[in-house]
Every structure is written in structure tokens, then in C-alpha cells.
Structure 1
Amino acid sequence: MATKDKTLHSMPSYQALEQMPIYAKFMKELLTKKRKPLDDETVDMTEECSAIIQKKLPQKKKDPGSFTIPCSIGNLHVRRALCDLGA
């Protein structure tokens, strides 16, 4: 039960609950005291949900910008042609 106590006290805002629809109802019931956790009760969480609750999400990286390459067609030389990755 110690893990659950730690999880409940470090619970992120309601927005994080919206990102975890599978666990939202369960956690709302616990937080509003409509449901009491049992000592032997466990809840399996995906890695993503666990990371959100424990606030261990990776930091966002800076926008890498556009991907350009040098391109030559005949006498036309373009130093920074936009590359289409097809994504």
C-alpha cells in the first residue's frame, strides 16, 4: 500500500487524468474518497501511465527545423533544397 500512498500524494493535475482514461474513474473515486483502497489491491499500469503519475516524462526537445540537402539539376544549383521524407 506504500506505493499507492506515494502515488496518490504525487498525483498530477486533472489534465493528466484526462490523458489516462482507463484509470481516470478509479483514481477519481480514490481521490474523492468514494472508494477506499484495499491493502492487497493492485492496479496494473502501462509504462506511459506510470511515467505520467511519477512525473518522469522525457523533456521536450527543440524543433530540429527543416531537413535540407544540396541539389543540382543541370546548371541549376540549389544549396538548401527541402527534402521530402514522405512521412
Structure 2
Amino acid sequence: MDRDAILAKVVDVVNDTLSLGSDVTLSADTNLKELGADSFDLLELVTALEDEFSMTFDDDAPAQISTIGEVVDAIAAAQ
């Protein structure tokens, strides 16, 4: 799967998990905490991403991931 396809799926998962409105535009540079995501939200997001991409992140992933681009990089590296 190429980076653009991963990014599109990650954006969908972030929108669904954080219950963002359609007026919010997400990109690789979007900071998850600036969207209002707390540590519980990040844990939920990691779980949703693991399900979506059939993979497992490291246990400390929620603390290490701050942008959507970093999520995409982690998923691309795991494939």
C-alpha cells in the first residue's frame, strides 16, 4: 500500500475515532493533540489503527505519535 493510500485510511480512522466534523481538514502535518486528543483518545486511536491495518504498534506508541504523518510513517515501516 502506498503512502497516499495509508494517509487516506489514517485520516478516516482519526475522523471516526475522534468524532471530528466534516469541516475539519486533516493532513500529514496535523497534530493529534491540537485536535483535542488526550492520552485515552490516543490509545483508542492506536487500537483502531491496529485493527484497520492488521498490525501491532509498540506499547509506547501513543506517547511517541504526535502527527498524522508520524502515524503514516510507522504504518509504512511496519509493512
* Bigger Rg, structure 1 or 2: 1
The structure carrying a bigger helix percent of its residues is 2
TM-score normalised per structure 2: 0.29
More relative contact order in 1 or in 2 (CA 8 Å, sep 6+)? 2
TM-score normalised per structure 1: 0.28
